Amino acid sequence: MSHAASPSSPLASSEESSLAARIDAVIGGALAAQRIVGTVVLVSRDGETIYRRAAGWADREAHVPMRVETLFRLASMTKLFVSTATMVLVARNQLDLEDEVSRWLPDFKPRLANGQPATIRVRHLLTHTAGLTYSFLEPEDGPYHRAGVSDGMDRVPHGLEENLRRIASVPLLFEPGTAWNYSLATDVLGAVVAAASGLSLPAAIGTLVAEPLGLIDSAFHVTDPARLAAAYADDAPRPRRMGEPETIKWLEGMAAIVMDPSRAFDPSAFPSGGAGMVGTAEDVLRLLETLRRGGAPLLPSTLVSEMGRNQIGTLPVPDWPGWGFGLGFSVLTDPSVAGTLEAPGTWRWGGAYGHSWFVDPVRKLSVVALTNTALEGMSGGRFPQDLCRAVYNN
């Protein structure tokens, strides 16, 4: 499906026709080089979708074309939904950013390396400053591996409560609030959202976020299997269809990411707040645009501003120079250091199954790019970088 414009639409303008041509070229190049299998790209400017295209294959082997309504395994894009739900509870005075996590999860009591108790607050979970980590960010024989911790994308026999117990059994990497480390913090946060709302996490996301916005495809298990894109992994000469499970090496010296595409069909799989949802590009864009435009009907603009403000000061975000972190996603602090044309204050994140998104509040711009190819389509990969340059005409 290609973009289309009526004579009265914004795409009829020469500027937006040029934008479409540039993005088309990026998508066409990535497909021709077989770096991605398929993609859905949406661009919204000042509240209007000015580019909408599905291209390539949703399922290459079955010759199913990609469509705008195709469902994807969202991986870490799930964090956007859980972080927003957290802030909705804050807006309703059912939760406070300074609440100790133990108030809501009394059995979750991780300790420091010296054995001393540590105080983790809701704010630490949202900003990834809690002292937690991911299994794929440690060596293969690391503590999380020895404890049998799930990163939320594999299939394991235990549930969320047991996974939290295993996470808490491993000493924290640092005193909460003193460093930044990408982590399972949002899985813990999902459990807090459930406890504070009195609902299961899937029901909480539905009640607090999805239903008010009409996001009918956003769920923790696939709603329509026929619409779910197949999952592929980087390989040469072309991406390979993922196994079940699939292991993908990301960082040298660290363990592989374990991903099981069949998890999306398993109703018994625990709801991972950091990686467990399924949804569409249009659902993600609607949520992002809701936040960019001030948060109604979910949140007051003051809380959206807090989400989009760098909350970690000068703490470094490894491998992301020029970026800080807000309440749920990264925030651009220095475009020159980051090497990007995005405006200061831009929000950005993605997902390991091959996704990226960014919101440039200064330019009133929101971009969502979902692919079915890990890790090429993930933020930091060539495809989203090329796409960003095309959006900014560079």
Q: Which residues are catalytic?
A: 76
Contact present, 105 and 191 (Cβ < 8 Å): yes
Q: Considering just the CA atoms, what is the radius of gyration of the chain in Å?
A: 20
Exposed e or buried b for every residue in 165-175, given b needs 16+ CB within 10 A? ebbbbbbbbbe
Q: What are the two backbone dihedrals, phi and then psi, of residue 359, each rounded to the nearest 5 degrees?
A: -125, 120
Cα–Cα distance between 248 and 58 in angstroms, integer? 20
Contact present, 136 and 250 (Cβ < 8 Å): yes
Cα–Cα distance between 2 and 209 in angstroms, integer? 30
Which two tokens mark 176?
A: 């909460």
Cα–Cα distance between 321 and 260 in angstroms, integer? 31
Q: Map residue 45 onto helix, strand or coil.
A: strand
Q: Does the CA dihedral 298-303-305-310 come out positive or negative?
A: negative
